[in-house]
Every structure is written in C-alpha cells, then in structure tokens.
Amino acid sequence: MSKDVKVAIIYYSSTGTNYKLAKKAEEAAKEAGSEVKLLKVKELAPEEAINSNPEWKKHYEETKDIPEVDLEDLLWADAYIFSMPTRYGAVPAQMRQFLDTTGGLWAEGKLVNKVASAMTSASNPHGGQEQTILNLYTTLYHWGVIVAAPGYTDSSLFEAGGNPYGTSVTVDQEGNWKEDVSSAVKHQTKRTLQVASAIKNSLQ
C-alpha cells in the first residue's frame, strides 16, 4: 500500500542527531517502496555560532548538499515525517521559521488531509521531547493534517523509551544515542505511510 505514497522527511539538525533519525526514516520509506525526499530546513544561526562548535560546523559542512525544503515540497508530498531537537520544550527557531511561511497554503486548504508524524531528541530523558512533538503537532492540526502518532502499536516503541507521540532519543555530550531507536523509527515511518496510503486512496 505504501508504494503510492510520496513522503517528505523534513528535519533540522545542528550536530547530526536528527539528521541520523531522518536518514533512518528515509531508509524505511524506501524499503516500503515510497517515493522519498530528504529535506532540511534553512539554518538561521550566525556563522560565528556555528564555527564556535566543532561538531556543529562539521555537520553543517557535511550536509551542505541536502536540499532545503520549500512550500512546493509540502504540496508534492502525501505524508510528512519531521525530525528536530527540542528547544525548551518547543521546536527550534529554524523549524518554526519554515512553518511560519505556510500561511498561504493553510489559507487555501492545500495541506488538508496530508498525514504526518514527528521525532525529536534531547540530552536527557525528560528534556522536553514529548512537549516538542506536541508543539509541532499543534501547528499541523491547524493545517488540517492527520497526525499518525505511533502510540504503543509495536514493542519497538517500549524499547526506545515509550514515547507515544513520536520516536525520541536521548544523546550524550558526544552525540551517542542512549537508546536504540532504529526499530522504532522504522515502525513509525511505515505506520505513517500506511495511514497516508489509506487516507489518499479513500479520498480518490
């Protein structure tokens, strides 16, 4: 069923954690036979801030060829998978800025009945992961999007920490994952595609 779904995987990552989550989702979507675009949101941080953190600078340089998302990508896709770190329990400014450009599409109802889910990360287990995903979903509800949260639909979610709103991972100061969330990301991606396929085909 997922072969008829076009999915945009939209992420923001400073030092690479959410890029890795997005890549896991891309792999799962391709395995399911979906047409996939891996897209980053535009970096807003000043160059001096990026250069002050070696890991940030390294990741910024390594991912320069990843295309930046634009509004046409939202129109193209049937489904969205978002991935971004938490910023005080909210989405990063870079992701927020992109979301704030979608008013025209929202006003025309062009995002209605798209399907989406989200992933996130933080440096400790209670660093705002759940709230960050819910913060993003609030915007998506205004779009008229169908949110395909993973809930507790697979044992991999428990192994990954049990976040029912979307896969989240805790990382240490070196960027190492404290939980193995690979299976949870794969399950969440496939669930999102299955829901998107069902919605798309039921409306045709």
What CATH number does the domain containing 189 carry?
3.40.50.360
Q: What is the mean pLDDT of residues 188-202?
A: 95
pLDDT cut 90: percent of the chain above it: 86
pLDDT at residue 178 in the model = 84
Q: How confident is the model at residue 109, as a pLDDT?
A: 97
Rounded Cα–Cα distance for residues 154 and 73 (Å): 30
State both tokens at 197: 């396929």
| % the chain with pLDDT above 70 | 100
* DSSP label of 2: G
Beta strands in 96-180 (DSSP E): 115-122, 146-147, 168-170
Report whether 124 contacts 156 (CB < 8 A): no
Cα–Cα distance measured from residue 180 to residue 183, given in angstroms and rounded to the nearest whole number: 8
Mean pLDDT for the stretch of residues 126-137: 95
* Residue 24 binned pLDDT confidence (cut-offs 50, 70, 90): very high
Tokens linked to 6: 């076009």
* Structural domain harbouring 76: 2-203
168-170 and 6-11 strand pairing: unpaired
Q: How confident is the model at residue 174 (pLDDT cuts 50, 70, 90)?
A: confident
**Banded pLDDT at 1 (limits 50, 70, 90):** low
Among 72, 101, 87, residue whose Cα is nearest residue 8: 72
CA distance 171 to 181: 11
Within 10 angstroms of residue 68's Cβ, the number of other Cβ atoms is 12
Q: How many domains does the chain have?
A: 1
| DSSP state for residue 181 in the 8-state scheme | -
